[in-house]
């Protein structure tokens, strides 16, 4: 878990770096950047959860971090939908 989580983190950090300068270009790029940022945060969460689950021998770190990741993704989704809705209604 740690090895693949670490590889995914490196790949997502590279993508985030490439998207950084385009993050304010338009709603599509802002959404893409936000998803990439969420992926980096999720990768860090997976690594932290893996260490805590192994150390504590408990599933609770995984549950707590998974719930936080779900809340982060939902917040991003509602933000993008909120920004896109006026554009759809105007078209």
**Torsion sign, CA atoms 31, 37, 41, 42:** positive
Residues 40-78 pLDDT 10s = 999 999 999 999 999 999 999 999 999 999 999 999 999
**pLDDT reported for residue 84:** 83
pTM of the model: 0.83
* pLDDT (0 to 100) of residue 34: 93
User: DSSP letters along 15-58, please?
Assistant: HHHHHGGGTTS-HHHHHHHHHHHHHHHHHHHHHHHHHHHHHHT-
Structure tokens at 57: 């021998």
User: Taking Cα atoms as reference points, which of 39, 38, 40, 19 lies closest to residue 29?
Assistant: 19
pLDDT score of 86: 73
Q: Measure the CA–CA gap between 80 and 72, rounded to whole angstroms.
A: 13
């Amino acid at each position: 878990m740690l090895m693949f989580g670490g590889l995914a983190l490196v790949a997502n950090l590279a993508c985030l770096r490439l998207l950084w300068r385009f993050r304010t270009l338009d709603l599509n790029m802002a959404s893409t950047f936000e998803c990439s940022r969420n992926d980096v945060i999720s990768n860090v969460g997976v690594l932290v959860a893996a260490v805590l689950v192994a150390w504590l021998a408990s599933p609770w770190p995984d549950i707590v971090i998974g719930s936080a990741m779900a809340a982060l993704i939902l917040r991003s989704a509602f933000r993008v939908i909120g920004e896109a809705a006026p554009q759809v209604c105007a078209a």
